[in-house]
Amino acid sequence: MDKMRGPSGLGFMKMHGAGNDFVVIDSRGRGAVVTPALARALGDRNRGVGFDQLAEIRDSDSADFALDFWNNDGSRAGACGNATRCVADYMMRQLGKDAISLITARGGLSALRLPDVRVSVNMGPPQLDWQSVPLAQAVDTLHLPLAGDPVAVGMGNPHCVMFVDDAEAVDLPAIGPRYEHDPLYPERTNVEFASLTGPDRLRMRVWERGAGITLACGSGACATAVAAHLRGLTGRRVTLDLDGGVLEIDWRDDGVWMTGPVAHVFDGQLSPEFLAAHP
């Protein structure tokens, strides 16, 4: 991928993890280039490139690289597990490694490639107290005072997890935005609906803050697995069937590990005219 921003434009990659799709921009060696205006323009699936989240690779003095995340409405995303796995795969190939370290707004994370070429990332320990999710007031995070009796979990970004009889029957466009903007979540929230389909197996659908319906959400899968275990529905190792594919979650002593597929779809270049129109 051409990393340089100049007369010829700006290089980018399009990637996805279980259908959760991303634009990735490598800003190492030149400083951050993504702005809210550029993220919004790129996120437009008709006038830009289109993505669920944008990931910007930056230099780091304490890890192999750093990552910043943006939603397609131009807002910042605190964490993005599937994008982390995709970029980790790219960086491991570039650096000739099978394990790698990175820095996000969440802090230091680690990722590795498995023999079956899937990629695992340690998303860190879940945030389970109301201040760190964060919530607007002190409440029982395992039983929120909201319709549907949801669970609040932080994974570097806030989540509202609801267990339902049939996740397929949930009207996400109608229900998701109401919870995303509920006053209990001062920074808005991702909203997950999950149903138990077998021993340690869940069907999950998601409404992401700043993005809407997505085919998968890595941090949401982690939050849902944590909530399911805390509610006594599953063990600490859970398989989740999402609209775009399957993710495996393992809540270990050192953090919540997420494993799944990655795909590098294509490389492209943003034109100088497009960049000039969205500084």
* pLDDT of res. 2: 43
Q: What CATH number matches the domain at 151-253, 2.60.40.10, 3.40.50.2000, 3.10.310.10, 2.60.120.680?
A: 3.10.310.10
Classify residue 145 by its DSSP letter. Answer: S
* pLDDT of res. 8: 67
What predicted TM-score, i.e. pTM, was given to this entire model? 0.93
Domain ranges in the chain are: 10-121+262-277, 151-253
Q: Is the peptide bond before 177 cis (omega within 30 degrees of 0)?
A: no
* pLDDT of res. 6: 47
Let me know if the fold of 10-121+262-277 is the same as that of 151-253: yes
Catalytic positions, written as ranges: 80, 217
As a whole number of angstroms, the distance between CA 22 and CA 14 comes to 6
Architecture label for domain 10-121+262-277 = Roll (3.10)
User: Mean pLDDT, consecutive 10-residue segments, the chain of 279 residues?
Assistant: 57 97 96 94 96 97 97 92 97 96 94 96 97 98 98 97 98 97 98 98 97 96 98 98 97 97 96 93
The answer to whether the CB of 247 falls within 8 A of the CB of 18 is: yes
